[in-house]
């Protein structure tokens, strides 16, 4: 019975993916075009697509990097010949002439150059990014490019979604202040989830004064989990795996790094600055080792999350690209590759769902462990805290 249900689920997923795949693929092709000829207007881009199809040669690499990389607009889908996309605002702080804020569509309307800024062409070290010329006529990035890119928009969406989910859960508790009823449905599910993280990660790994750190660790866990899952969705509000971007994991790791060190106890700092080792080794070797250790912990956090999510995301995208590779060979190959691609993607999706949870869990647990290690007390103190 269970097995049968499982089979039905698999079939449903397969159908779902079969339905989604073309949109996904189309997206991919557009992205490729965007990454190559971002400054061109739509009709030019369409012609280019036609040319690309005629040539039947695929630039898989740029497709992939176009997909996992960032962009100043968010392609959602294509209906007929019309691209449905969100054009995002560009915000630049230039040394040359201060702050600029304008829509990205201005580039297309002004044949690729606006306010002295243009998009770096393929081959440049800043390919696809907005650049300007400095005094010597050299292509440089503006001092600050805080444009709302599609990854930024995805961060906002995920943050907003997380706020809605958690605050609506909290709202239920504010409405039942007697503390005698237990929630059902979604709130009950969230409660189970939150308490699982609180009890099994935060309490276990941080130690006696876990209360102070639990909001940060819970926020990190749910932000990462939500972002990972949103990255698995194939269409608009999701589809951008922000945790597969090193900037995002860097910020998360830095938060853990600062919380660990700011709230570190005297004993923790003594362990780094004046460890209990023979006098000959005391300085400066141990300090150097400890200092590097201090930095490698958040670095490992950053790279682990980034690498795992990027690999999964890329893997799924490459499997999708099998269809196009097949299409360059023969129609039969297209059909065969589609079947293979769909089956593999179903498998990958299930795997990635697991990875999404595991990575959120691992990031939170390691953060909790690092924070907990920095909370060590002198022997006398510890006994007091431990009752």
Partner 1 sequence: MSLLLPESGLIFWMFITFLVVFFILAKFGFPVITNMVNKRKEYIDRSLENADKANAKLADIQKASDEIVSKADKEQSRILREAAEEREKIISDAKKKAEIAAQKEIANAKETIKLQQEEATRSLRRDVSELAIEIAEKILRKKLDSEGEQMSMVDRMVDEAVNNKLN
Q: Which is nearer to partner 1, 286 or 366 (CB)?
A: 366
Choose, by CB under 8 A, the member of 58, 89, 115, 216 that binds partner 1: 216
CB distance 253 to 359 below 8 Å: no
Binding-residue pattern over the window 192 to 211 for partner 1, x denoting contact by CB under 8 A: --xx--x-------------
Least Å from the CB of residue 146 to partner 1: 4
Q: Can you tell me the distance from the alpha carbon of 50 to that of 81, in angstroms, rounded to the nearest whole number? A: 12
Binding-residue pattern over the window 78 to 117 for partner 1, x denoting contact by CB under 8 A: ----------------------------------------
Q: Can you tell me the distance from the alpha carbon of 296 to that of 99, in angstroms, rounded to the nearest whole number? A: 36
Stretch that binds partner 1, among 47-55, 141-149, 349-357, 364-372 (CB under 8 A): 141-149
Residues from 156 through 175 that contact partner 1 (CB under 8 A): 156, 159, 162-163, 166-167, 169-170, 173-174
128: left (phi over 0), alpha (psi -120 to 50) or beta: left
Q: Can you tell me the distance from the alpha carbon of 323 to that of 331, in angstroms, rounded to the nearest whole number? A: 10
Q: Which is nearer to partner 1, 247 or 287 (CB)?
A: 247
Q: Can you tell me the distance from the alpha carbon of 360 to that of 301, in angstroms, rounded to the nearest whole number? A: 11
CB distance 157 to 237 below 8 Å: yes
The structure tokens 């580039």 sit at 107
Q: If you compute the radius of gyration of the chain from its CA atoms, what whole number of angstroms results? A: 25
Stretch that binds partner 1, among 15-23, 27-35, 146-154, 341-349 (CB under 8 A): 146-154
182 binds partner 1 (CB under 8 A): yes
Q: Which is nearer to partner 1, 159 or 275 (CB)?
A: 159
251 binds partner 1 (CB under 8 A): yes
**DSSP 8-class letter at 234:** -
CB distance 51 to 40 below 8 Å: no
353 binds partner 1 (CB under 8 A): no
Q: Which residues contact 38 (CB under 8 A, 6 or more apart)?
A: 71, 72, 107, 119, 128
Q: Which residues contact 365 (CB under 8 A, 6 or more apart)?
A: 201, 205
Q: Can you tell me the distance from the alpha carbon of 83 to that of 214, in angstroms, rounded to the nearest whole number? A: 44
CB distance 166 to 154 below 8 Å: no
Q: Which is nearer to partner 1, 179 or 284 (CB)?
A: 179
C-beta atoms surrounding 318 within 10 Å = 17
Choose, by CB under 8 A, the member of 286, 310, 348, 356 that binds partner 1: 310
Q: Which is nearer to partner 1, 49 or 93 (CB)?
A: 93
Stretch that binds partner 1, among 35-43, 140-148, 275-283, 326-334 (CB under 8 A): 140-148
Q: Which two tokens stand for residue 195?
A: 């308490």
121 binds partner 1 (CB under 8 A): no
Q: Can you tell me the distance from the alpha carbon of 128 to that of 145, in angstroms, rounded to the nearest whole number? A: 13
Stretch that binds partner 1, among 3-11, 63-71, 79-87, 132-140 (CB under 8 A): 63-71
Stretch that binds partner 1, among 25-33, 213-221, 351-359, 367-375 (CB under 8 A): 213-221
- Interface positions with partner 1 (CB under 8 A): 65, 68-70, 127, 144-149, 151-152, 155-156, 159, 162-163, 166-167, 169-170, 173-174, 176-177, 179-180, 182, 190-191, 194-195, 198, 214-216, 218-219, 223, 242, 245-248, 250-252, 255, 310
């Amino acid at each position: 019975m269970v097995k049968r249900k499982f089979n039905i689920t698999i079939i449903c997923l397969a159908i779902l993916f079969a339905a989604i795949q073309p949109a996904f693929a189309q997206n991919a092709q557009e992205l490729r075009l965007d990454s190559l000829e971002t400054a061109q207007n739509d009709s030019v881009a369409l012609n280019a697509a036609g040319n690309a199809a005629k040539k039947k040669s695929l630039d898989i690499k740029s497709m992939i990097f176009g997909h996992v990389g960032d962009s100043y607009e968010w392609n959602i889908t294509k209906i007929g010949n019309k691209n449905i996309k969100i054009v995002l605002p560009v915000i630049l702080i230039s040394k040359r002439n201060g702050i600029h804020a304008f829509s990205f569509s201005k580039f297309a309307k002004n044949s690729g150059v606006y306010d002295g800024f243009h998009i770096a062409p393929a081959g440049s070290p800043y390919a696809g990014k907005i650049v300007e010329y400095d005094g010597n006529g050299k292509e440089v990035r503006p001092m600050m490019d805080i444009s709302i890119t599609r990854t930024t928009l995805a961060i906002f969406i995920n943050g907003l979604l997380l706020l809605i989910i958690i605050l609506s859960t909290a709202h239920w508790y504010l409405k039942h202040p007697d503390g005698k009823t237990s929630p059902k449905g979604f709130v009950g599910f969230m409660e189970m989830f939150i308490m699982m993280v609180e009890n099994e990660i935060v309490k276990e790994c941080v130690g006696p004064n876990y209360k102070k750190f639990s909001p940060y660790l819970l926020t990190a866990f749910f932000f990462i989990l939500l972002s990972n899952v949103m990255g698995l969705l194939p269409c608009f509000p999701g589809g951008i795996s922000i945790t597969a971007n090193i900037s995002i994991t860097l910020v998360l790791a830095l938060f853990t790094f600062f919380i660990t060190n700011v709230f570190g106890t005297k004993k923790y700092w003594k362990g780094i600055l004046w460890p209990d080792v023979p006098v000959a080794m005391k300085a400066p070797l141990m300090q150097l080792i400890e200092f590097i250790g201090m930095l490698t912990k958040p670095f490992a956090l950053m790279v682990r999350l980034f690498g795992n999510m990027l690999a999964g995301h890329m893997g799924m995208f490459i499997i999708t690209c099998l269809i196009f590779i097949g299409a360059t060979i023969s129609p039969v190959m297209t059909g065969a590759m589609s079947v293979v691609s769909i089956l593999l993607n179903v498998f990958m999706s299930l795997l990635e769902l697991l990875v999404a949870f595991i990575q959120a869990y691992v990031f939170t647990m390691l953060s909790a462990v690092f924070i907990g290690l920095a909370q060590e007390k002198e022997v006398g103190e510890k006994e007091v805290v431990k009752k």
